Structure 1
Amino acid sequence: MSKLTGQLVSLRAIEPEDLDVLYNIENNQTYWEVSNTQAPYSRYILKQYIENSHLDIYEAKQLRFVVEDKKKNLVGMIDLFDYNPQHLRAGVGVLIDKKHQEKGYATEAIQLLNNYAFSILNLKQLYANISTDNKKSILLFEKLGYQKTGIKKDWIFSNKTFKDVAFYQLIHA
């Protein structure tokens, strides 16, 4: 499998050529709130990450894909994280660059990832942690069948205040 392909986007493995984009994403402080990042990443560390991205999800406990549009433009990234083989679950994270949002890319990327997780990895459930003030992400995940099953009170400390995080699950029948 070289990529997962839909009508609008494809999901592919990270390549060495993606280093600059990964560097910009990982060091963009506006994303740190949701990624639990607290310090910048060096190009060296990210280069090592890319070099080790050949490790499968069973070893790395995570799997990141690049989201490409039909013209092969990198429009974002999506990943499975906190993979737990015992309980057959993983978290889902998606980031679509602002200039590519509201084109259906995130919807299709998550659908492709859901299908991969359930049919190839045989997972039982996927979950997402979404800040309760992130209305776009809440609508996106709810549209895709994820159900809010709880609230993590005062979960994220950001801009000198605490935020609640909603816990969403998609359980495969």
Structure 2
Amino acid sequence: MDKRLFLRALEYDDLEFINKLRNDDTLFEFTCGNKYFISSQRDKKWIEDKIFNNNSQLYLMICTVNSYDPIGYICSTNIDYINRKAQWGGIVIGKEFSGKGYGTEAGKLLLDHLFGELGMNMVYGFWKEDHDASLRMAEKIGFQKDGLMRDYVFKKNRFHNAYICTILKRDYEKK
């Protein structure tokens, strides 16, 4: 399959696009993150933090190869260089690009970077139990469900369960 996407660093020019994504209620419905109202000024500072203070986190824009236009962003947080593990932070893709396999492709690009360039041995993450599409994507790129975290996140006035999933470098290399 030809690569349709590439990852790049965040830029100040991404502010309007990122702010639109981060304020879209429907995009956060199935994530383990909570929804906040975010001003463009706050996101400007947030982007600046991602540009200059990225030792333990990695936020990257997902762009199409053909047009170089961003379609979303992907991240890894809690990067631990001593124990060689990182947390899957998630993928946020514009609604108009969902359902086309971009999340799976971007996820593979991130794992390639984490395992191949940053020397990670394990990547772990949390997926809401009821977000079937996200869980399918995680399994496609090699994550395994290790357990169910009960009442992991409070959203929409109730608690939700989440799976903790992991992938090891050796397992990723076999795929």
Tell me whether the two structures share a fold, i.e. TM-score over 0.5. Answer: yes
Cα RMSD after superposing both structures: 1.8
Aligned mates of 1:143, 1:50 — CA distance in 2: 30
Separation of aligned partners in 2, 1:39 and 1:168? 25
Aligned with 1:170: secondary structure?
A: strand
- 1:52 aligns to what SS in structure 2? helix
Q: Which residue is equivalent to 2:76?
A: 80
Judging changes above 3 Å, is the alpha-carbon distance between structure 1 residues 160 and 52 closer, same or farther for their aligned structure 2 residues? closer
Question: 3-state SS of the aligned residue for 1:7?
Answer: coil
- 1:85-124 equivalent positions in 2, closer than 5 A: 85-92=81-88, 93-124=90-121
Aligned counterpart, 2:173: none
Alpha-carbon distance in 2 for matches of 1:41, 1:81: 20
Residues 128-167 of structure 1 mapped to structure 2, 5 A cutoff: 128-167=125-164
Q: Which protein has greater RCO, CA pairs closer than 8 Å, 6+ apart?
A: 2
In the alignment, structure 2 segments of 5+ residues that lack a partner are 171-175
Give the TM-score normalised by structure 1: 0.87
CA distance change for structure 1 residues 26 and 84 in 2, over 3 Å: closer, same or farther?
same
1:76 and 1:95 in contact (8 A); partners too: yes
Gaps of 5+ in 1: 1-5
One-letter identity of the residue aligned with 1:115: D
- Report the CA distance between 1:88 and its aligned residue: 1.3
The one-letter amino acid of 1:79's match is: C
Percentage identity across paired residues of the two chains? 25
Measure how far apart 1:161 and its partner are.
Answer: 2.2
Q: Deviations over 1:110-134 (max 9, x none)?
A: 1111010011100011112100100
CA distance 1:157–1:120, change in 2 (3 Å)? same
